Amino acid sequence: MSEPGGHHVEVVAPHSPPLAVDDHGNALVSFTPGSEDKPPSDAPLPVALVALWHGNRVLMAFNRFRQVWELPGGRIDPGETPRQAAARELLEETNHVPDGQLRFVGFASFTLAPVQRAEYGALFVGQAAGVSRSFGPNDEVAAIRWWDLRESLPGRLQPLDACLAKLSRNTPTSTRHGAAEG
């Protein structure tokens, strides 16, 4: 843009506030629906998360180390796809499997404290035909709950994961190759 007199003025859009921030300063900066086969390339993608739904409730896991309710998920192992990691983590942490294939929802952009490191997480969604009774506490997860997005959970709720759970319910899902489902 030019001012009178020919001087160039750069217009910078205001920076959007994060979608959610936790008590450690970690932020969910944005969420981008898209193709699973086209991950962002401007930061690493080390994490895959799952929002497993049964009716109007999403499965939450109480992490022993962080002492917080969060979506099942975790690190993507070397040679593993985000989809494979999501399914593996869901089973390892909760002893649940989806009814059918997990569907890709999008990429979550995080800024992690204290060094403000940027990274992405792949978010998948699935449906549970029934509620498994075979969960047993393990080294990582002390308990699981089906959460309706409104009720209070006993203990702390990870606000980044709560936001992603809400987004997973309201965001159109896509197939492996990004085509919209009907």
pLDDT 10s digits, 153-162: 999 999 999 9
pLDDT 10s digits, 35-65: 999 999 999 999 999 999 999 999 999 999 9
Top pLDDT among 119 and 9 is at 119
pLDDT 10s digits, 92-139: 999 999 999 999 999 999 999 999 999 999 999 999 977 767 888 999
- Report the percent of the chain where pLDDT is more than 90: 78
pLDDT at 5: 52
Rounded to two decimals, the pTM is 0.85
Q: Identify the three-state secondary structure at position 60.
A: strand
Buried b (16+ CB within 10 A) or exposed e, 63-93: beeeebbbbbbbebeeeeebbebbbbbbeeb
pLDDT at 133: 75
